[in-house]
């Protein structure tokens, strides 16, 4: 029996500013059946309040407690101490809420997320601090970020620059690593076998859910296609072209 569902956002519940057809009804019906729904995003620059405002606009009722961002998961993982941060408002807020002190002097960790105000100086400082022994942590490995201008460098690209410079590999919190999913389980108070992970990305959503021990469903509403399945690192338990199909699969065929 599935008691909880972890949803990816972009490509799964919406595409850009457009809702994915049937997504809002699916979430409403899942809740009516007593299933806890949690919205888990690799994007770390936005606050949970911003994310749930967008979901509410799309007809998916949610409060900040229904959202888990990679920024929150990263802050929870670090849990305290001091950090030099490259990142946006969402990451800054999450770190401060977890009692993490932001500093550029002898921090315990260097934390890197998506930062629209990135400068060479920030990269230079992060590089020196990592070489000086600070732990190197990334909110997510997303290579690109899709914008109205097209695909732009994402957090993974910033991490790659620092990894090349320092030869130190970052610890990644977001999908495809299972850490963020394990935190989602703790938030829901459920065990992995009770939870379904729903996402559109075979490289991130499906491996993250599977490694955390959840059942997984690939929605063909976003980036991954049936043709991508052959080369996928982990096969999903279910594949659905749309939400009515996912409902049928969940109800046992």
Residue positions annotated with a catalytic role: 8, 10
In the bound complex, what is the minimum distance in angstroms from residue 202's beta carbon to Mg ion?
Answer: 10
Contacts of residue 57, Cβ cutoff 8 Å, sequence gap at least 6: none
CB-based contacts of 223, cutoff 8 Å, min separation 6 = 11, 200, 201
* Residue whose CB is less far from Mg ion, 108 or 200: 200
Q: Across the chain, how many H-helices and E-strands are there?
A: 9, 15
Give the shortest CB-224-to-Mg ion separation in angstroms: 9
Q: Report in angstroms how near the CB of residue 211 gets to Mg ion at its nearest.
A: 17
| Chain Cα centroid distance, residue 87 | 15
- Residue placing its CB nearer to Mg ion in the complex, 8 or 66: 8
Q: Which residue is nearest to Mg ion (CB)?
A: 11
Q: Which is nearer to Mg ion, 11 or 88 (CB)?
A: 11
Residue closer to Mg ion, measured from CB, 10 or 108:
10
Between CA 130 and CA 215 the distance in angstroms is 37
Whose Cβ is closer to Mg ion: residue 168's or residue 229's? 229
Residue for token digits 């049936």? 226
Residues 6+ apart with CB under 8 A from 17: none
CB 175 within 8 A of CB 205: yes
Beta carbon of residue 108, minimum distance to Mg ion (angstroms, whole number): 31
Positions that interact with Mg ion (CB under 5 A): 8, 10-11, 200-201
DSSP string, 8-41: P-BTTTEETTEEPTTHHHHHHHHHHTT-EEEEEE
Q: Strands 18-19, 14-15: parallel, antiparallel or unpaired by DSSP?
A: antiparallel
Q: How far is the CB of 113 from Mg ion (least distance, A)?
A: 17
């Amino acid at each position: 029996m599935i008691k909880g569902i972890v949803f990816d956002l972009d490509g799964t519940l919406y595409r850009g500013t457009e809702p994915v057809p049937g997504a809002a009804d699916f979430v409403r019906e899942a809740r009516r059946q007593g299933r806890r729904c949690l919205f888990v995003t690799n994007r770390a620059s936005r606050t949970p309040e911003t994310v749930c405002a967008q979901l509410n606009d799309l007809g998916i009722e949610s409060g900040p407690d229904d959202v888990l961002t990679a920024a929150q998961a990263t802050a929870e993982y670090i849990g305290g101490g001091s950090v030099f941060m490259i990142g946006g408002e969402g990451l800054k807020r999450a770190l401060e809420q977890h009692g993490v002190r932001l500093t550029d002097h002898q921090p315990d960790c260097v934390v890197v997320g998506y930062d629209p105000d990135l400068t060479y100086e920030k990269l230079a400082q992060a590089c020196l601090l990592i070489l000086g022994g600070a732990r190197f942590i990334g909110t997510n490995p997303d290579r690109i970020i899709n914008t109205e201008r097209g695909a732009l460098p994402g957090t993974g690209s910033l991490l790659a620059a620092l990894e090349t410079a320092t030869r130190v590999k970052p610890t990644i919190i977001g999908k495809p690593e299972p850490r963020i999913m394990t935190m989602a389980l703790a938030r829901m108070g459920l065990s992995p076998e009770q939870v379904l992970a729903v996402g559109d990305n075979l490289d991130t959503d499906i491996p993250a859910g599977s490694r955390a021990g959840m059942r997984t469903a690939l929605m063909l509403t976003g980036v991954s296609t049936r043709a991508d399945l052959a080369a996928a690192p982990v096969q999903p338990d279910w594949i659905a072209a749309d939400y009515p199909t996912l409902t049928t699969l969940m109800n046992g065929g």
